[in-house]
Amino acid sequence: RMLCQALKADTLIADARYTINAGRIENRSDLIGAISEITGNWTMNQLMDTLEAVGVPCGPINTVDQVFAEA
């Protein structure tokens, strides 16, 4: 719920398929597709800043080059 609120994804909050965890698991591929579509318009930094601000755990998925660049 907090993720959807942060992303302003009210349609996902209202969707009965995702109200309980069992529904989210059953409809996982649809949910992942919907979240991917929404987050595709955000930069990684924008998304992380937004999620961290509301307490939604998050982190980047780095390429191998990015991992070694941070070391």
Instruction: Identify the residue with better confidence: 53 or 70.
Output: 53
- Contact between 21 and 69 (Cβ < 8 Å): no
pLDDT tens by residue, 13-59: 999 999 999 999 999 999 999 999 999 999 999 999 999 999 999 99
Q: Which amino acid appears at position 57 of this protein?
A: P
The confidence score (pLDDT) of residue 7 equals 95
Under DSSP, the state recorded for 9 is: -
Residue 62 has a pLDDT of 86
Q: How high is the pLDDT of residue 71?
A: 63
Backbone phi, then psi, for 63, in 5-degree steps?
Answer: -75, 170
